[in-house]
Amino acid sequence: MPYNTSPRASAVLGPGAENDIEIREDIGMITRESLEAMTSEEIAGLLAEVLERCHAATDAVNTAVASYFPAVNEQERRIKERKAALEKERGAVLSKIEGMRPALVKATISGNADALAEIQRTVKDLETQRATVETQIGMLDGPLPSCDDVYNAIQTALKEKEAIDEQTATDLETIKAFCEGKAQPWVELAKGASERPTAVSEFHLNRVRAHYSESRRR
């Protein structure tokens, strides 16, 4: 069975591990008995799969974390865009109201009751529009909602990584114990199995947690 390792797995396993490997989501239970039936090349491929599965889980968390603040920024952009449109609409309504002044003055001086009544109706409608627009602007000035969907995706990725890390640690220990004490190429395999699950970026994860916690308190 040909194997092909990823660059990260190859770095651990060495240049001899650059064949064709198909990364499977379900590697299955790794036992000493199952390893006994495999060649060193097959175990090298299996080790690469175990490591790649772990790296992929870490990448999934980091990708989810990296999507959080762009989602927050997109919220802010949409609010800002909508407020700008409303401000423009309010300005147009105020201009129309101000534009009614000459007609109001003229109708008042002439005593044109019909014109005054029409102006009054028009101004009333415009004032209703203005009040509606200003109410929306005020509502948009409040705090933004928390990005629950994005944060929940991060939590899901973290839980999946935790489960994979636990299984990876067990699998690596099994492979390492089986390969230790043997001659080459088993020595390199035992060394490769000494790698531990890759960690997520705690700095960025903590920034997300702090921001999300704060947004939930608003």
Q: What is the CA radius of gyration of the chain?
A: 33
Peptide bond into 185 cis (omega under 30): yes
Q: Name residues whose C-beta falls within 8 Å of residue 136's C-beta, 6 or more positions apart in sequence.
A: 86
Amino acid letter, residue 129: Q
More confident residue, 127 or 179: 127
**pLDDT tens for each residue of 7-39:** 444 444 444 443 443 444 456 688 889 998 998
In the numeric block, which tokens belong to residue 10?
A: 């190859």
**pLDDT tens for each residue of 139-178:** 999 888 899 999 999 999 999 999 999 999 999 999 988 8
pTM of the model: 0.71
**pLDDT tens for each residue of 57-82:** 999 999 999 999 999 999 999 999 99
Name residue, tokens 């060394």: 191
Range of the domain at 58: 7-66+163-217
Question: Is 85 domain-assigned?
Answer: no
Question: Is 46 domain-assigned?
Answer: yes
In the numeric block, which tokens belong to residue 127?
A: 């004032």
Question: Is 95 domain-assigned?
Answer: no
Question: Is 117 domain-assigned?
Answer: no
How many domains does the chain divide into?
Answer: 1
